[in-house]
Amino acid sequence: MAKKIKKKKFPLAYQPVGWVLGYAGGALAGLAFRKTWMALRHEEDAPDALDPDRGWGEILLAAAIQGAIFAAVRSAVDRTGAKAIARSTGVWPTKEKGGRD
């Protein structure tokens, strides 16, 4: 019975850890995107959707690259955190086995 209670309470305890990991992952993804854009276009600033001097292709390319990098880094950080928690406590840090929407 104690194990079921631990499983119910543990995801709530993991939330602050998940938030910190998510914040760090977002910062890491932003840095990776800036480095990638610099390598591809030799520009420090990526185009913004509201930049009148940039074309559709350039804006959509930057958005696609940024989204792909963000998703990959977010998944890597989430998975690493979950695996570390599971190894140290023996409990997977989410209630369901499904991913996020």
Which residues does 85 contact at the CB level (< 8 Å), separation at least 6? Answer: 14, 17, 91, 92, 93
pLDDT higher than threshold 60 for residue 51: yes
At residue 89's C-alpha, the angle toward residues 83 and 90, to 5°, is 75
76/80 Cα distance (integer angstroms): 6
Single-letter residue type at 80: T
With beta carbons less than 8 A apart as the criterion, state whether 78 and 25 touch.
Answer: yes
Residue range 4-50, pLDDT digits in tens: 544 445 666 677 877 888 899 999 999 999 999 999 999 888 888 99
Question: How high does pLDDT run on average in the chain?
Answer: 83
pTM of the model: 0.75
